[in-house]
A and B are shown apart, each in its own frame.
Chain A
Amino acid sequence: MRISDPKDMWAEGPSEKEIVQDVLSRYHHISSRFLAWCGVLGILFLLAVVVVLIRLSNGFEDRSEWGYYSATLLFIALTFMSTPIISAGLRLAKGQWRRSMTRVPELYGVVGMLGLLMLFPAIAALPPIEGRRTIWFEWPTFAPMGWDAVGVLALVLTGLAMLWMLAIPDLAKVRDHFPLSGRQKFITWLAMGWVGSVRQWRIHRLGVLTLGGMYLLLFPLVATLLGSELSAGLLPGYKDAIQPAYLIIVGVQAGLALTLVTMYVLRSTGGYERYLGVDQFWALSKPLLALSLLWFYFWWSSFITFWYGRQPSEVNIIRFLMFESYRIPFLMAFFLNFVMPLLALMWNPVRKSLAGPALVSVGILIGTLFNTIRLVVSAYSVPDPTLHLLTELPKGQVPGAIDLLIVVGGISGAVLLFLIASKIIPPFSLWEMGEGTRLVRVRRFMNRTVRVISKQN
């Protein structure tokens, strides 16, 4: 075995101490701009809450009133709650470039709390499960509200636990770095007495692996639950076995896009350019392209089966969701989630830039919102879900001012939760970045410089 002589290597990039110092000082400082943003988002969110409460007083007789609300729920669940998968997946794949960016998607796991809260009115607005399609079949005990809540709760708790566990070493650093204050007391409690002993690291590693694995299993379950409750179960004649898998792809694509946009913002406004560079954007743009292609593939699987078979019930579904009533949201989603990412990201110069993936990601997020609106608002607007065939296609439901407030406010609330969390838990995984400085060396290799990367088993 050739061992790289420490003398003929030089470490490139900042040392662990420098990273910790730099990141923690930025994280600790709460600028006025940050507070302003929190204020704006908070106001939008509160407005939305007020509006929802008013709607609640109207009750659930008119299901179509709750269409946009439920669409927002599905958007938040798919986009914001899929992000821990990105972190877990990248950790499984063991790429080195991921070390500086995995905390961002993990932090979005806190938005799960909002998702859980939003769940109850959306499910309450559903018609009773007798006589219509559901995944609860003949077993109505506690369904759908009870089991849906259990599923989403399990996912949220796993996400929070995973975030917490992954953050503990960094929280310990924060605890040790700054003098005691109100925020620090909370962080000290969160750090749970971490000192970095071998035993603690072993437990940590096991916990991270287990929780990551659990999240990877729970998210498809929740996507299946929400997709079938909020959308498929209300559409007559809609038997689409691939829809849960399609929603998972939609969610992971949107989650990845959200991560990229957040990274861009952190870079430009937070001053974190050293850690979020072209390497990260380039590496993430490849799965983004792959996910866009998968988006098309899963959509096409469903479409070709319905379209070719020419069954009246399925043809009417295609007309309803794609070609007639909801043509505009569908075309927007098709363009923003597939055509544009494909045409943009197939070029290496675009993938290797910063603005390229970020802009494409903004488009993807907008497209995902249109997609969830298309799937959920349409379903909630069907007057009789017990039919076997959608004979009359309801017209596309244009959002009212209140609907728009709910959508904007819900998303604002999600982002607000992230902002608050980012001031409690540092938005960079300091311990993983430190690990990286130890496992990567730069050295000479046949007249060139190369990176030597080692992988622990």
Chain B
Amino acid sequence: MYYRRTLTDEQINRELLGAVFSTPLWWVLLVSVLGFIVLGAASAVGFMVDQGLQVTGLNRSVFWGFFITNFVFWVGISHAGVMISAILRLSQAEWRRPMTRAAEVMTVFSLMTAAMMPLVHLGRLWRFYWFTPFDFARGIWPDVRSPLVWDPMAITTYLTGSVLFVYTALIPDLAVIRDRSTGWRKTVYGILSLNWHGNPRQWKLQAIAGILLSALILPVFVSVHSIVSWDFGVSLVPSWHVTVFAPYFVIGAVHSGVSAVVTLMAIMKKLYKLDNYIWEEHFDAVGRLLVVVATAWLFFFWLDLVFAFWLAEEQELTVWRLRLFHAPWSWLFLTFIVFSYVIPVPLWLSRRVRRNLTMMIITTLMVNVGMWLERFIIVVPSLMQKGPLTFDYAAYRPSIVEITIVGGTFALVAFLILMFSKFFPLIPLWEAKEGQRLGDAIKVGAISVPGIVKEE
């Protein structure tokens, strides 16, 4: 049952803005450590640009490795924001309220990180601007036939939309901070809050903007990861040339992204002591959503597997034999399927597990480990396998530079989210207040059933 806590506006303001107005020691320590790791990764990138890609583990067969895996993974994580914010907003699910901003912010930062990955893996990184649709005095424009040109188009569209999404939802909260601050803070937040005073006209615009953005960003959300999947799908590499990749990747992204949001929410609840706002019921509801999404993902994975054997093409069978039967790929594969589905989903069927914070953190972290491995298993074995002609097939072992850079991306996203929380509240104040006002209950016989007010 939903236990509604009655919170006053003042209490909401004070508790949720606590992180903005004070700086706890753990925050400083964590940000320093993460910042240090990010600096390390940045130096690794510099080293790689200077020395060339020879410092990676890539070779003449396996041209794409850790960086592309990481790229697809972070694009995947970025799908969480839209799923939770836009879809749950449009379907008016009450339990989305504490999660929307954290999810959207994670989308923005993970998308930015993802966009960096294909740049980092370029042979001539300093020429990356040639992807821009502009004739830089060379007489030619980018080739729109290439999926690598569709990628930046999709990602920048999604990034723009997500930033707008975060910003429009942030405005009322920025006004609250402005009203509670003095000095430079007041000026800066005053400018950012765009003269928000909370009158009916402004709220109406806010509501319309929210609905429009939610509806418009949905096709973008589906198309971004589909376009990333077509990087693989339209090529002729065996086991990449599969029609199911687009929805398979999208639903995998939702699976991994929503799990990441759950991890984030659980950590937020613990670190910022947000027990009044993030309840067991939220994890219960997300857990049920995850069961459905994960099972749908499993169906697409099964389709990929079954149809790989459909034409019994020797090339494709070789890749799958490598994935399923040869160490270390067989171990990676087993880990992936166990971590992504076999352990978490049956656990999530139990209400007790869904409401247990520690279990949710563990299971959702497992899911993301498994999903990272999934991307790795898709990218590298296909490039590694011995083709009909090739006299040069090779194994791939990531170098320390690649590991540092990939690890750095995780630190970067965490770092950015922590920095964000210093300046903006991670739980939308106005959503919490709206949830309070719309809460109600109905007497049915002797029982009071909690209800929600819906406008006609």
Measured CB to CB, the closest approach of chain A to B81, in angstroms, equals 19
Taking CB atoms, residues of chain B closer than 8 Å to A237 are 311
Measured CB to CB, the closest approach of chain B to A128, in angstroms, equals 17
Among B21-29, B35-43, B179-187, B440-448, the stretch in contact with A: B440-448
Among A150-158, A304-312, A331-339, the stretch in contact with B: A304-312
**In the complex with contacts A224-B303, A240-B307, A451-B454, A1-B244 CB distance below 8 A:** no
Sample 5 A-B pairs with CB under 8 A, ordered by A number: A3-B441, A239-B310, A297-B226, A452-B442, A454-B449
Provide the A131-157 mask, 1 if CB < 8 A to any CB of B, else 0.
Answer: 001010100000000000000000000
In the A-B complex, the 5 residue pairs with the smallest Cβ-Cβ separation, listed nearest first, are A454-B451, A241-B307, A241-B244, A308-B234, A301-B246
Measured CB to CB, the closest approach of chain B to A436, in angstroms, equals 12
Q: Is the CB of B244 within 8 A of A242?
A: yes
Measured CB to CB, the closest approach of chain A to B143, in angstroms, equals 13
Binding site for A on B (CB under 8 A): 1-2, 4, 6, 91, 219, 222, 226, 230, 233-236, 241-247, 292, 295, 299-300, 303-304, 306-312, 439-444, 448-456
Measured CB to CB, the closest approach of chain A to B160, in angstroms, equals 21
Task: Verify if A448 is at the interface (C-beta below 8 Å from B).
Answer: yes
Q: Is the CB of B442 within 8 A of A304?
A: no
Other A-B contacts than A3-B442, A133-B312, 16 sampled, CB-CB below 8 A, are A4-B441, A232-B310, A239-B307, A241-B244, A242-B244, A293-B219, A301-B226, A301-B247, A302-B243, A305-B242, A305-B245, A308-B230, A448-B456, A452-B440, A452-B442, A455-B450
Report the Cα distance A301→B311, complex, angstroms: 19
**In the complex with contacts A1-B4, A3-B448, A242-B303, A448-B455 CB distance below 8 A:** yes
Q: Is the CB of B454 within 8 A of A2?
A: no
Report the Cα distance A301→B248, complex, angstroms: 11
Q: Which of A412-457 contact B (CB under 8 A)?
A: 438-439, 441, 445, 448-457
Q: Is the CB of A441 within 8 A of B442?
A: yes
Report the Cα distance A449→B455, complex, angstroms: 8
Measured CB to CB, the closest approach of chain A to B406, in angstroms, equals 29
CB-CB nearest in chain B for A228: B310
Taking CB atoms, residues of chain A closer than 8 Å to B443 are 3-4, 6
Report the Cα distance A240→B450, complex, angstroms: 48
CB-CB nearest in chain A for B145: A308
Q: Is the CB of B455 within 8 A of A241?
A: no
CB-CB nearest in chain A for B90: A286
Find A1's partner among B91, B246, B310, B441 (CB 8 Å cutoff).
B441
Taking CB atoms, residues of chain A closer than 8 Å to B304 are 241
Task: Verify if A212 is at the interface (C-beta below 8 Å from B).
Answer: no
**In the complex with contacts A304-B230, A451-B454, A240-B440 CB distance below 8 A:** no
Report the Cα distance A95→B243, complex, angstroms: 34
Name, among A4, A232, A302, A311, the residue most crowded by chain B CB atoms within 10 Å (CB to CB).
Answer: A4
Taking CB atoms, residues of chain B closer than 8 Å to A441 are 442, 451
Measured CB to CB, the closest approach of chain A to B5, in angstroms, equals 9
Taking CB atoms, residues of chain B closer than 8 Å to A453 are 451-452, 454
Task: Verify if A244 is at the interface (C-beta below 8 Å from B).
Answer: yes
Q: B-side binding surface: helix, strand, loop or mixed?
A: mixed
Measured CB to CB, the closest approach of chain A to B347, in angstroms, equals 17
Q: Is the CB of A456 within 8 A of B449?
A: yes
Report the Cα distance A239→B239, complex, angstroms: 11
CB-CB nearest in chain A for B351: A457
CB-CB nearest in chain B for A307: B234
Report the Cα distance A232→B448, complex, angstroms: 55
Task: Verify if A245 is at the interface (C-beta below 8 Å from B).
Answer: yes
Taking CB atoms, residues of chain A closer than 8 Å to B247 are 242, 245, 297-298, 301
Taking CB atoms, residues of chain A closer than 8 Å to B441 are 1-4, 454
CB-CB nearest in chain B for A457: B1
Taking CB atoms, residues of chain A closer than 8 Å to B451 are 4, 439, 441, 452-455
Measured CB to CB, the closest approach of chain B to A170, in angstroms, equals 21
Taking CB atoms, residues of chain A closer than 8 Å to B309 are 137
Q: Is the CB of A452 within 8 A of B453?
A: yes
Report the Cα distance A306→B441, complex, angstroms: 55
Q: Is the CB of B243 within 8 A of A451?
A: no
Report the Cα distance A304→B6, complex, angstroms: 53
Q: Is the CB of A297 within 8 A of B236?
A: no
CB-CB nearest in chain A for B284: A457
Measured CB to CB, the closest approach of chain B to A240, in angstroms, equals 5
Task: Verify if A220 is at the interface (C-beta below 8 Å from B).
Answer: yes
Find A297's partner among B234, B235, B246, B303 (CB 8 Å cutoff).
B246
Q: Is the CB of A451 within 8 A of B453?
A: yes
Q: Is the CB of A304 within 8 A of B244?
A: no
CB-CB nearest in chain B for A248: B299
Q: Is the CB of A2 within 8 A of B456?
A: no
Task: Verify if A93 is at the interface (C-beta below 8 Å from B).
Answer: yes
Report the Cα distance A449→B230, complex, angstroms: 50
Measured CB to CB, the closest approach of chain A to B6, in angstroms, equals 7
Q: Which of A302-322 contact B (CB under 8 A)?
A: 302, 304-306, 308-309, 311
Taking CB atoms, residues of chain B closer than 8 Å to A245 are 244, 247, 299-300, 303
Measured CB to CB, the closest approach of chain B to A447, in angstroms, equals 12
Report the Cα distance A81→B307, complex, angstroms: 24
Report the Cα distance A240→B247, complex, angstroms: 13
Taking CB atoms, residues of chain A closer than 8 Å to B292 are 92
Find B450's partner among A6, A293, A454 (CB 8 Å cutoff).
A454
Taking CB atoms, residues of chain B closer than 8 Å to A438 are 444
Measured CB to CB, the closest approach of chain B to A239, in angstroms, equals 5
Report the Cα distance A379→B262, complex, angstroms: 46
Report the Cα distance A441→B234, complex, angstroms: 54
**In the complex with contacts A241-B303, A450-B453, A452-B454, A133-B311 CB distance below 8 A:** yes
Find A450's partner among B2, B439, B454 (CB 8 Å cutoff).
B454
Q: Which of A221-247 contact B (CB under 8 A)?
A: 224, 232, 237, 239-245
CB-CB nearest in chain A for B445: A438
Provide the A238-264 mask, 1 if CB < 8 A to any CB of B, else 0.
Answer: 011111110000000000000000000
Q: Is the CB of B243 within 8 A of A240?
A: yes
Name, among B91, B222, B295, B311, the residue most crowded by chain A CB atoms within 10 Å (CB to CB).
Answer: B311
CB-CB nearest in chain B for A298: B247
Q: Is the CB of B243 within 8 A of A306?
A: yes
Taking CB atoms, residues of chain B closer than 8 Å to A449 are 456
Q: Is the CB of B2 within 8 A of A239?
A: no
CB-CB nearest in chain B for A293: B219
Report the Cα distance A448→B456, complex, angstroms: 9
Report the Cα distance A388→B441, complex, angstroms: 65
Taking CB atoms, residues of chain B closer than 8 Å to A92 are 292
Measured CB to CB, the closest approach of chain A to B351, in angstroms, equals 9
Taking CB atoms, residues of chain B closer than 8 Å to A133 are 310-312
Report the Cα distance A456→B440, complex, angstroms: 13
Report the Cα distance A1→B443, complex, angstroms: 12
Report the Cα distance A198→B35, complex, angstroms: 59
Measured CB to CB, the closest approach of chain A to B292, in angstroms, equals 8
Q: Is the CB of A452 within 8 A of B244?
A: no
CB-CB nearest in chain A for B244: A241
Taking CB atoms, residues of chain B closer than 8 Å to A450 are 453-456
